[in-house]
Chains A and B, each alone.
Chain A
């Protein structure tokens, strides 16, 4: 083994050859993304002389294309790769506007405060280099009170975020000079605004546009986005304007190798996998909290955790002189991995000290800045980060990236991979899969990552709960009149919102004369940009502090009932209390160390089902999107010991049922579906109903419906950018309202968020991928495993599930879809607003 081989030859083969004690099958797959040359345009082609001369380089073709369209007056979405120079597009365009009108001002909105601070510096440097007389300054929750009036009065570019804008709109009179002169609004990293958050941001943007309009401004908008499936549609939904899309990337890149790298076998742990226990979704959001999903304990092949292997690979690369950025799933995970990598370096044959540091939003600003600087200057060996470094913070280039698990979307995957590569030099990325269904799918089918298809970002504005609360803010900002249907229409919807608040005692007046807010001060403060209702449960600790966003009622009942074990930031907690008979309800956690996790059982009913769109597939098959009432009663929970597999309980949960009026998508099947599925399976494949109130055939068929429901929810993120912990399902061989065997997929938030409906829109793709994963899973068990059918969120103990029946059900629906084509859709009243 040549010690510096990796530094000379940054390839998967070199990694395999130099990795200490590599096992023969660890390098499971390799992909190569070939180098691409830059496509450039002389700046003089699109910029006037003064500006063009100030630039000492050509523009990439996408920058030039975007500038051209902006100069034509369009709103533009630039959806190109990481580090392709998207900031330059809007900074140059602002410089152009400023030359035309010295009073021109702009609002640049970033998704995180860290990014704002980073971009403020970059923008001011750029303005200085270009000789543009303009300055940018950050105005957010961290800005000192005495700076604020100065920024409002003097700064050309106000750098902020949407949580801030939500609040500042209330004081628009103080912002008059900014709003009256705003010619450009930039929404950076716009792909991050999806789901519940995206829906809030889209209403904040409509409120902003309304106030801008009030002050006589009709600015242009620039969205910059990672590569997503629907950049134009997404920007239009978000902002409510038409957008031109620039997505042909003219930036150069070096050759990039991707190694699919399996964790080492873990003989010591057998099937136990060393997972801390708790629920996979315990962190209050996907990707937060849990390392490997705990249900991996049952996975067929026992390998080390992805996080541990990633630490070891990143450490090896760092020691070999390859500056490496490793992406972990939790803050705690980054700390543990950095520590582990340093420790492992001591036993490493290269026998050198490893400079390995963690990076996440929980660190102080100074610490984060220091790590960013060591990366920029190339002095770091390995940095272990959460997705915090996935967005555009400038860290220069690193030689290699390591991904501990699939980050949930192709767009994130490429964004993280894209962090590797300095300029046009070659780069290596190492993907270490976990053992959940999606990582498995990708391992089976690496082409999935490399195809042209990227997930659609979902923004849906049909949720009335969120809508009504933003209308309330708008009325506080300026009286609402009929003309405001432009922003909050259609008129009928706005009328109803005004009337709901008037009858609630919070509005006075009407749309004819102006509807005014008359409630307690600052309704903006009651809006959380991450939840659909304003009932939020604060998360507290009885024995210390915990830095966690408040959670909604649904999640509180499901995952934070007393007795539940919760994994957050790598630490385990037990919920000791859920207190809700007060203005600010809360849950209280206590730190515990146990080798257990809990599962929660619930009973669910779906009723008052109304279809707004349907596709009749013929032969008794049909597909529907609409709304319904989901009633969930969390009844009991069990404690599972990871070590010996023992289960204690059930213990009762003393909470009332939750009722959600929300979005649904469902599939109705022909009445004789059970017979067809059972005929296809043959008598030997049947499950034993074993005391369940069903025949073996009925139980097996139910396992197919249940499996299709589970599988589609698990695998939907392969097609759509959504958070599947905000979704749920129900399957039944006979539903009282549909009168047929049915499986439902529903949004798990009040009012809906568009997820279930987007599955309706992408049904075929999601169903096909689910079918493929279930059929190909290498688990020997006909009832499936966590890599195909089992779900940590199942309220029914993952029973019944049946792989064969699931594929049979999905095959039948897919062949119907194929035969029906696209012409089968009939519209009820389409629920979404354009």
Chain B
């Protein structure tokens, strides 16, 4: 994995929703190099549990380098004038000139005025004056507590990114979420926000604030304790039925043991599924430029890549052709495909290769995430249901490409806007990244297929299927 610095951000509303155990669990999971707290007393609480991570107070960001010895580094400035001191750090060699440096402050704020149709960066003039005066050599990205994580904009050379959940005026992340902002040496900022409820007992399926309190009162303070409970134990808690109890316990066991459990008799589509993932230039894409395909029948991986901005339909057309010829009788599996991959493939096949549209309309598409999570057919491990989290929890080791979907999209857009050597992507590296995701999906699919059912449920997928279940569900044997 490429070196990165991770900043974890705990707004007061998010921190307040975490018990001490859940807070520790979140820190263990996010593994930050620095932690940003909102109020002074939050800082004190975090100091006690943050271990090696440096705890910063949003209300008082002292100027100085706070994380990273080499590679990407994180510094803070209390006011724009603090930028001048970074010059000293540069001269002393404290800052790695070959790598991006990130400067965190509250000096910049994004102000959206919809009536005037104008977005301005408040504080920009003073900040740029101070920057000019500091005459820094290195490459810098300026982080602000006054914009959401995921916010990124280049203000005529001033690269600004946000870190604070709920800070943006429009379309803000709920402020009761916490954020992990990973900072890479090439200027890539990858952000993820989390519902604090994912940590601690509330991260279990079927457990909200009330049930979490009930469980704690009954002495179940950790997921491990819940996982270790015997059937019937939790039912002693008020208001828990047998089915709910089972869901809660097996959700805890899944998280604890790093395995999946099947909670219904619903079958997965057998029949040699084909696993896919698409790379696009954004969330409502103008171009699907890479489609990774893993065929479980031949155990072969292939990718359909189109790098020419003028040939927007090339990858899609090649894929549709391959699918129609080789796999149209088999299920096509994507992770979160219902929301992303499938509708965009629909759209682009219709637009660029309508000759394959009929075959594509009959395609048997299957969204593993939707099936497991939305349809409640399985409990998955992982801090979130993102593919990377689930696969990692199940034991998948990723290929350390150092890329993420958002970053890949961003880089491809830069290439689209101005195809040149400077903007050209390392195509091979991106193909590897895509392949890694597709193989991770196949891995998760197999883990779910082979997962034990919770007691009282029988499913007939995978090698564990017993003679009895095969008999009772024999008519489903030719499913599909």
Mark A residues whose CB is within 8 Å of B: 171, 173-174, 176, 463-465, 468-469, 472, 475-479, 493, 496-497, 499-506, 508-510, 513-514, 516-520, 523, 526, 533-534, 582-583, 661, 750-751
Closest Cβ neighbor of A492 among chain B residues: B117
Contact check, B153 vs A516: say whether CB atoms are below 8 A apart: no
Closest Cβ neighbor of A499 among chain B residues: B119
Report the 6 A-B pairs with minimum CB-CB distance, sorted nearest first.
A503-B119, A514-B286, A516-B282, A505-B151, A173-B343, A496-B117
Contact check, B112 vs A500: say whether CB atoms are below 8 A apart: yes
Q: Max chain A CB contacts within 10 Å: which of B13, B113, B119?
A: B119
Residues of B within 8 A of A499 (CB): 117, 119
- Provide 30 A-B residue pairs closer than 8 Å at the C-beta atoms, listed in order of the A residue: A173-B344, A173-B347, A174-B343, A463-B115, A464-B116, A476-B283, A476-B284, A477-B284, A479-B282, A479-B284, A500-B113, A500-B118, A503-B121, A504-B112, A504-B168, A505-B110, A505-B151, A506-B171, A508-B282, A508-B409, A508-B413, A509-B286, A509-B417, A516-B282, A518-B283, A520-B173, A583-B174, A661-B115, A751-B114, A751-B115
Residues of A within 8 A of B112 (CB): 500, 503-504
If A176-B350, A517-B283 touch, whether A583 touches B166 (CB-CB below 8 Å) is: yes
Residues of A within 8 A of B116 (CB): 464, 661
If A505-B148, A505-B168 touch, whether A465 touches B114 (CB-CB below 8 Å) is: yes
Residues of A within 8 A of B283 (CB): 476, 516-518
Contact check, B117 vs A750: say whether CB atoms are below 8 A apart: no
Contact check, B117 vs A519: say whether CB atoms are below 8 A apart: no
Interface string of B359-372 (1 = CB under 8 A from A): 00000000000000
Q: How far, in Å, is A583 (CB) from chain B's closest CB? A: 5
Q: How far, in Å, is A211 (CB) from chain B's closest CB? A: 11
Residues of B within 8 A of A171 (CB): 343
Bound together, the chains give a CA A505 to CA B283 distance in angstroms of: 13
Contact check, B172 vs A583: say whether CB atoms are below 8 A apart: yes
Residues of A within 8 A of B119 (CB): 499-501, 503-504
Contact of A518 among B166, B282, B416 (CB under 8 A): B282
Q: How far, in Å, is A255 (CB) from chain B's closest CB? A: 52
Within B101-158, which residues are at the interface with A (CB < 8 Å)? 110, 112-121, 147-148, 150-153, 155
Q: How far, in Å, is B92 (CB) from chain A's closest CB? A: 34
For chain B, the bracket of interface size reads 35 or more
Contact check, B285 vs A505: say whether CB atoms are below 8 A apart: no
**Cβ of B264 under 8 Å from chain A:** no
Bound together, the chains give a CA A28 to CA B340 distance in angstroms of: 67
**Cβ of B420 under 8 Å from chain A:** no
Q: How far, in Å, is B288 (CB) from chain A's closest CB? A: 12
Contact check, A508 vs B410: say whether CB atoms are below 8 A apart: yes
Residues of A within 8 A of B147 (CB): 505
Contact of B118 among A472, A477, A496 (CB under 8 A): A496
Contact check, B115 vs A509: say whether CB atoms are below 8 A apart: no
**Cβ of B281 under 8 Å from chain A:** yes
Residues of B within 8 A of A501 (CB): 119
Within B273-301, which residues are at the interface with A (CB < 8 Å)? 281-286
Bound together, the chains give a CA A505 to CA B152 distance in angstroms of: 6
Contact of A534 among B113, B120, B170 (CB under 8 A): B170
Bound together, the chains give a CA A583 to CA B176 distance in angstroms of: 9
**Cβ of B99 under 8 Å from chain A:** no
Residues of B within 8 A of A496 (CB): 117-118
Bound together, the chains give a CA A149 to CA B272 distance in angstroms of: 27
Contact check, B285 vs A504: say whether CB atoms are below 8 A apart: no
Closest Cβ neighbor of B347 among chain A residues: A173
Q: How far, in Å, is A339 (CB) from chain B's closest CB? A: 41
What would 15 more interface pairs be, CB under 8 Å, given A502-B153, A534-B170? A171-B343, A173-B347, A174-B343, A476-B284, A479-B282, A500-B112, A500-B117, A503-B110, A504-B169, A508-B282, A513-B416, A516-B284, A516-B285, A517-B284, A583-B172
Bound together, the chains give a CA A472 to CA B117 distance in angstroms of: 12
Q: How far, in Å, is A381 (CB) from chain B's closest CB? A: 50
**Cβ of B313 under 8 Å from chain A:** no
Residues of B within 8 A of A516 (CB): 281-286
Q: How far, in Å, is A558 (CB) from chain B's closest CB? A: 19
Closest Cβ neighbor of A173 among chain B residues: B343
Bound together, the chains give a CA A661 to CA B172 distance in angstroms of: 23
Q: How far, in Å, is A200 (CB) from chain B's closest CB? A: 14
Contact check, B346 vs A176: say whether CB atoms are below 8 A apart: yes
Bound together, the chains give a CA A720 to CA B284 distance in angstroms of: 41
Residues of A within 8 A of B175 (CB): 582-583
Bound together, the chains give a CA A396 to CA B246 distance in angstroms of: 56
Residues of B within 8 A of A476 (CB): 283-284
Contact check, A504 vs B284: say whether CB atoms are below 8 A apart: no
Residues of B within 8 A of A503 (CB): 110, 112, 119-121, 153, 155
Bound together, the chains give a CA A501 to CA B343 distance in angstroms of: 24
If A464-B117, A497-B117, A500-B117 touch, whether A526 touches B171 (CB-CB below 8 Å) is: yes
Bound together, the chains give a CA A493 to CA B114 distance in angstroms of: 12
Contact check, A479 vs B285: say whether CB atoms are below 8 A apart: yes
Residues of B within 8 A of A750 (CB): 115
Closest Cβ neighbor of A751 among chain B residues: B115
Contact check, B346 vs A173: say whether CB atoms are below 8 A apart: yes
Q: Max chain A CB contacts within 10 Å: which of B112, B120, B152?
A: B112
Contact check, A519 vs B171: say whether CB atoms are below 8 A apart: yes
Q: Max chain B CB contacts within 10 Å: which of A476, A478, A503, A513?
A: A503
Contact check, B417 vs A505: say whether CB atoms are below 8 A apart: no
Contact of B284 among A478, A497, A520 (CB under 8 A): A478
Closest Cβ neighbor of B155 among chain A residues: A503
Residues of B within 8 A of A533 (CB): 114
Residues of A within 8 A of B117 (CB): 464, 468, 493, 496-497, 499-500
Bound together, the chains give a CA A499 to CA B119 distance in angstroms of: 8
Q: Max chain B CB contacts within 10 Å: which of A176, A504, A750?
A: A504
Q: Max chain A CB contacts within 10 Å: which of B110, B171, B309?
A: B171
Q: How far, in Å, is A753 (CB) from chain B's closest CB? A: 12
Interface string of B328-364 (1 = CB under 8 A from A): 0000000000000001101100100000000000000
Contact of A505 among B115, B120, B153, B281 (CB under 8 A): B153
Bound together, the chains give a CA A506 to CA B153 distance in angstroms of: 10
Q: How far, in Å, is B324 (CB) from chain A's closest CB? A: 19
Q: How far, in Å, is A541 (CB) from chain B's closest CB? A: 22
**Cβ of B200 under 8 Å from chain A:** no
Bound together, the chains give a CA A751 to CA B152 distance in angstroms of: 27
**Cβ of B80 under 8 Å from chain A:** no
**Cβ of B162 under 8 Å from chain A:** yes
If A479-B285, A479-B286, A582-B175 touch, whether A506 touches B114 (CB-CB below 8 Å) is: no
Bound together, the chains give a CA A477 to CA B118 distance in angstroms of: 23
Contact check, A464 vs B350: say whether CB atoms are below 8 A apart: no
If A479-B285, A509-B281, A517-B283 touch, whether A504 touches B115 (CB-CB below 8 Å) is: no
Residues of A within 8 A of B113 (CB): 500
Q: How far, in Å, is A216 (CB) from chain B's closest CB? A: 10
Closest Cβ neighbor of B410 among chain A residues: A508
Q: How far, in Å, is B338 (CB) from chain A's closest CB? A: 10
Residues of B within 8 A of A176 (CB): 346, 350
Residues of A within 8 A of B309 (CB): 513
Residues of B within 8 A of A500 (CB): 112-114, 117-119
Residues of B within 8 A of A502 (CB): 153
Closest Cβ neighbor of B160 among chain A residues: A505
Residues of B within 8 A of A493 (CB): 117
Interface string of B283-327 (1 = CB under 8 A from A): 111100000000000000000000001000000000000000000
Q: How far, in Å, is B312 (CB) from chain A's closest CB? A: 10
Q: How far, in Å, is A214 (CB) from chain B's closest CB? A: 9
Bound together, the chains give a CA A518 to CA B409 distance in angstroms of: 10
Contact of A464 among B115, B286, B346, B417 (CB under 8 A): B115
Residues of B within 8 A of A469 (CB): 114
Residues of B within 8 A of A526 (CB): 171
Residues of B within 8 A of A477 (CB): 284
Contact check, B115 vs A465: say whether CB atoms are below 8 A apart: yes
Bound together, the chains give a CA A358 to CA B43 distance in angstroms of: 59
Bound together, the chains give a CA A93 to CA B119 distance in angstroms of: 47
